[in-house]
Amino acid sequence: MNEPNIFDTFSYKGLELRNRIMMSPMCQYSVEKKDGIATDWHYIHYVSRAIGGAGLVMVEMTDVEPDGRISDYDLGLWSVEQVPALKRIVDGIHQHGAKAAIQIAHAGRKAEDAEIPVAPSAIPFDEASKTPRELTTEEVYGMIEKFRKSVQLAVQAGFDVIEIHGAHGYLIHQFHSPLTNKRTDEFGQDLTKFGSDILKAAKEEIPKDMPLMMRISAKEYVDGGYDIEGAIELAKAYKEAGAEIFDISSGGEGQIAAWGKPGTHAAYQVPLAREIKKALNVPVIAVGRLDEPALANAVVGTGDADMVAVGRGMLRNPYWALEAAKQLRKDTNTIVPVQYETGF
Ligand SMILES: Cc1cc2nc3c(=O)[nH]c(=O)nc-3n(C[C@H](O)[C@H](O)[C@H](O)COP(=O)(O)O)c2cc1C
């Protein structure tokens, strides 16, 4: 059998992708009226990457309540009024041959515009951040229901895959990190209970043949934080709760990987994806400075990951996947829009 490459199809349960290239979720901070509703910017931004050949286009971190957003200009999904604008994006992505995913999240103590952000424990992110309020146990159960509602609405909008955001120091990460969760209730005794309960609720809301995805930080890069061994244990609990495909990032409690210390060399997170795949025998997505097509292709070809996600590379070039196909001399016929054929 030939080695897989990024232009091979990928299928898992009912999800069928034309290739193994995902647009990584990236906040646009482009909501106009603080209402969480996607705008024309979002429509054009996401649909362009479908025209540009990606197999899976993931809509940015979209939050389950107004104060769960990093800023008031982030997308939200807590009301039916937010569904039509997302459905328009999903339909546009489908029209151009890609599948649509959305990342569901809560920023927790990193919600910068919330008057008083909430978190597992009242520990601020840094000296410049507001001190969050500790959620009561009852509120934590309420928060799980907010995630459930968001997932329900995402299904209504027609998304093909839902990713639960458990990375980068946001609320789920805050619950599973011993650095930020000092609770004594059941959500402190079992650090993965919050994330696991969310996954179980999500699973109840999505169609049976839809895979459930989760992004985790597989390493924290701070003193006292967890490393890959700890991440494997977290991932095992999340797999047990229903996560089926893992999107492997890192960092977040000290800084966000994309801008912070770890992300300085190409493919910096690939070893983490490989370890999770090996330990759990699950499909994984590798991300982080994979913008060189030959490198991205090697990550899939060597079996380190099943898919690659490209973030900043696709900010620079919406046609990243088309260009990659040309560079790697892959058959572009199936992905190049007929209008652009002469360019390829
Ligand atoms: C502008 C910007 C916004 C981002 N927003 C998100 C986000 O909403 N959710 C997420 O999980 N990661 C987010 N990230 C991280 C990216 O998804 C990606 O993991 C990271 O940039 C590393 O991949 P790259 O080297 O291909 O950019 C963001 C990154 C950038 C540059």
CATH at 310: 3.20.20.70
Whether the CB of 249 sits within 6 Å of ligand 1: yes
**Structural domains counted in the chain:** 1
Q: What is the mean pLDDT of residues 3-32?
A: 97
DSSP run (H or E) holding 86: helix 83-95
Whether the CB of 279 sits within 6 Å of ligand 1: no
Cα 36 to averaged position of ligand 1 atoms, centre (Å):
19
Whether the CB of 26 sits within 6 Å of ligand 1: yes
Whether the CB of 155 sits within 6 Å of ligand 1: no
Calculate the average pLDDT of the chain.
95
pLDDT at 260 over 70: no
DSSP run (H or E) holding 161: strand 161-166
Q: What is the mean pLDDT of residues 262-274?
A: 87
- Alpha carbon nearest to ligand 1 atom 14, residue: 26
Residue 236 domain-assigned? Answer: yes
Report the atom number in ligand 1 closest to the C-alpha of 215.
Answer: 11
pLDDT at 258 over 70: no
Greater model confidence, 261 or 5? 5
- Alpha carbon nearest to ligand 1 atom 26, residue: 311
Residue 153 domain-assigned? Answer: yes
| Region of poorest pLDDT, from 2-6, 42-46, 118-122, 212-216 | 2-6
Render the burial of 64-103: b for 16+ CB within 10 Å, e for the rest. bbbbbbbebbbbbbbeeebbebbbbbbebbbebbbbbbbb
Cα dihedral across residues 197, 219, 154, 245: positive or negative: negative
- Alpha carbon nearest to ligand 1 atom 28, residue: 26
Greater model confidence, 160 or 255? 160
Whether the CB of 234 sits within 6 Å of ligand 1: no
Domain span holding position 104: 10-343
Residue 165 domain-assigned? Answer: yes
Residue 303 domain-assigned? Answer: yes
Residue 91 domain-assigned? Answer: yes
pLDDT at 134 over 70: yes
Cα 216 to averaged position of ligand 1 atoms, centre (Å):
13
**How many percent of the chain have pLDDT more than 70?**
96
- DSSP three-state, residue 184: coil
Cα 118 to averaged position of ligand 1 atoms, centre (Å):
23
C-alpha angle 145-93-88 in degrees, rounded to nearest 5:
60
Other beta carbons less than 10 A from residue 339's beta carbon: 8
Cα 269 to averaged position of ligand 1 atoms, centre (Å):
13
- 214-253: per-residue pLDDT in tens? 999 999 988 888 999 999 999 999 999 999 999 999 987 5
Whether the CB of 251 sits within 6 Å of ligand 1: no
- Alpha carbon nearest to ligand 1 atom 11, residue: 25
Q: How far apart are the first and last CA of the chain?
A: 29
Q: What is the mean pLDDT of residues 196-214?
A: 98
Contacts of 101 (CB under 8 A, 6+ apart): 22, 56, 57, 58, 59, 159, 160, 161, 162, 163, 213
Contacts of 326 (CB under 8 A, 6+ apart): 332, 344
Residue 199 domain-assigned? Answer: yes
Residue 190 domain-assigned? Answer: yes
pLDDT at 311 over 60: yes
Residue keyed to tokens 């328009």:
88
Contacts of 308 (CB under 8 A, 6+ apart): 6, 20, 21, 22, 285, 286, 287, 290, 296, 299, 300
Residue 2 domain-assigned? Answer: no
**How many percent of the chain have pLDDT more than 90?**
89
Q: What is the mean pLDDT of residues 156-181?
A: 97
Residue keyed to tokens 């409690």:
253
pTM of this prediction?
0.97
